[in-house]
Homo-oligomer: A and B are copies of this chain.
Amino acid sequence: MSNETGSFAPPGSAAEVEEGRALTPKFDADGLVTCVATDARSGDVLMVAHMNAAALARTIETGEAWYFSRSRRALWRKGETSGHVQRVVEMRIDCDQDAVWIKVEQAGGAACHTGRLSCFYRVVPRGAAGAVTLEFRDAEKLFDPEKVYQNKL
């Protein structure tokens, strides 16, 4: 079955969505679901991005992560420029079917376009919210984004 156009069945009742075995994603007004990618070995969150129906279908069909870039308004195969593809070890969907979680093997060991393993390389310390100073953590750059992307961002 082709899903280039995202031919998922529409959501049914809350009970069907939450307790059923049918994949009926609840896309938002922009046609997107949220996707969390974690490192299959460490469990660390690598990135949060979005999938439209086509990206979700391709990810399910190919076992590699596809996203939808909100800034570029385009389907985006993760790693298509950098080579840092993500092989999906397991995909899960949440109770109301508007978010997916993929556990991935991250090629190149770096998911973030800044060159880091994870996009989450800064800690927000507890304190007065308007006056916090972020703390860099696990922020080593594993590649040079200027060399990898060469104006392709």
Per the bound structure, the CA–CA distance linking A131 and B3 in Å amounts to: 10
| A interface residue count range (under 10 / 10 to 19 / 20 to 34 / 35 or more) | 35 or more
Closest chain-B Cβ to A3's Cβ sits at a distance in Å of 4
Pair B36/A127 contact, Cβ less than 8 Å:
no
Pair A61/B126 contact, Cβ less than 8 Å:
yes
Per the bound structure, the CA–CA distance linking A21 and B128 in Å amounts to: 15
Pair B124/A7 contact, Cβ less than 8 Å:
no
Pair A113/B95 contact, Cβ less than 8 Å:
yes
14 new A-B contacts, CB < 8 A, other than A60-B124, A99-B119, are A1-B131, A8-B129, A21-B122, A21-B134, A23-B133, A43-B44, A45-B45, A48-B99, A61-B126, A92-B122, A92-B137, A93-B120, A93-B134, A95-B116
